[in-house]
Structure 1
Amino acid sequence: MAEARGQSRRDLGITALVLGFFAAAWFGWSGGGAPDGWQPFLTVGSVVGLAVAVAGAVVGFRSRTATTLSQDRAASRRYGIIVGIEFAAIALGGIVLGVAGAAEYVAAWVCLVVGVHFFPLAPVLRDPLLVPLGALVCAAAVVATVVGLTTGVAASFVAGLGAGVLLLVYSSAALVRGLRS
């Protein structure tokens, strides 16, 4: 199944590692603005994300003989360019929001940029499922902004919860696909 989509067991393990780690980070970020009673759920999300990341590392690094996208120089270069642009956009937007006195929306901005970066990564990583993931992460950023502007709920909580759940589900699915391949 994984090979038909162009992804090796190693690729899927590394996907679970990276996105599981970032799921945990997003749950952590959401904790700063979490409403009362949410912290235990966010902690569980972080712990599960880290467990998926560790399991992904085991699957990925135990599959040394599998072909991997990291062996493709052109794909590695495109990946680096996309991630470099992502970091630059995050930094620039964060600075602008900070200077404008809207630092409480930095998490929503980061969430939006992360979502957008999945679109060009989908063909590079040979994973078309990154496109709907990107759309959903972008939607989480929009919802976080609207909620932050119209209610007393922190945008960082909504962005962190949304991105955390989406990345956790996606990383878990990658892990399962990697285990089955």
Structure 2
Amino acid sequence: MEEVRQSRRDGGITALVEGFFGAAWFGWGHAAPPAWLDPWLTVGSVAALLVAVAGAVVGFASAASTAAINNRAAGRRYGIIVGVEFALAGLGAALLGALGQPDYIPVWICAVVGVHFLPLAPVLRDRNLIPLGILVSATAAVALVGGLTTDVVPSTITGVGAGLSLSVFGAYALIGALRQPRRRPEAA
């Protein structure tokens, strides 16, 4: 069976999305970090944004027809997975807020984000989403335990763990995209 690889466009867009959300997680980590960590979160955010910008340049300069979700069925599956992710994240966050546990909202969202990568892997033709999903989910577990047993707020743990995981995997996707040959759009 022939291995299906990500296109240059897919790799660039993956770097864009993972870099952007890596920066967002580093930003969330700024909620109440120890003073020594604050500048490192800023460095992480800037690095993640650089990955996102480079990913956008590579992705949008590549043929759209090569994208994994270029066909209707893949686009529909992608939309369903992301829609369920947003619904679960929002409902859980609302419930945690209503229960007076807002410090655990980042833990819940991190867990949902981590799990959502698993069904996205085949849709986006990206096997790297599986270890990324495992790492982000593990970050949520560590943040839960850390929040319950230490003085470190969960957003600090999720900010560092998810931010770093997304940024590193985004950079890896960008490198993979740059190694892919440029393809011309298919004629209609």
TM-score by length of 2: 0.92
2:72 match = 73
Matches within 5 A, 1:160-179: 160-179=159-178
Q: Deviation string for 1:2-47 (max 9, x for gaps)?
A: x954310000000000110000000000011211111110001000
Q: Distance in 2 between matches of 1:122 and 1:65?
A: 19
2:21 match = 22
In the alignment of these two chains, the number of paired residues is 179
Verify: 1:43 aligned to 2:32, yes or no: no
What one-letter code is carried by the residue in structure 1 that aligns with 2:115? V
- What displacement does 1:128 show? 1.5
1:106 match = 105
What one-letter code is carried by the residue in structure 2 that aligns with 1:153? V
What one-letter code is carried by the residue in structure 1 that aligns with 2:149? T
8 Å Cα contact 2:10-2:68 kept in structure 1: yes
8 Å Cα contact 1:8-1:66 kept in structure 2: no
Which sits farther off after the overlay, 139-148 or 127-136?
127-136
TM-score by length of 1: 0.96
- What displacement does 1:70 show? 2.8
Which sits farther off after the overlay, 64-73 or 163-172?
64-73
**Structure 1 137/65 Cα, relative in aligned 2: closer, same or farther at 3 Å?**
closer
- What displacement does 1:132 show? 1.3
Q: After TM superposition, what 4+ stretches of structure 1 lie above 3 angstroms from structure 2?
A: none
Gaps of 5+ in 1: none
8 Å Cα contact 1:9-1:66 kept in structure 2: no
Root mean square deviation of aligned Cα: 1.3
2:32 match = 33
Gaps of 5+ in 2: 181-188
Percent sequence identity is 59
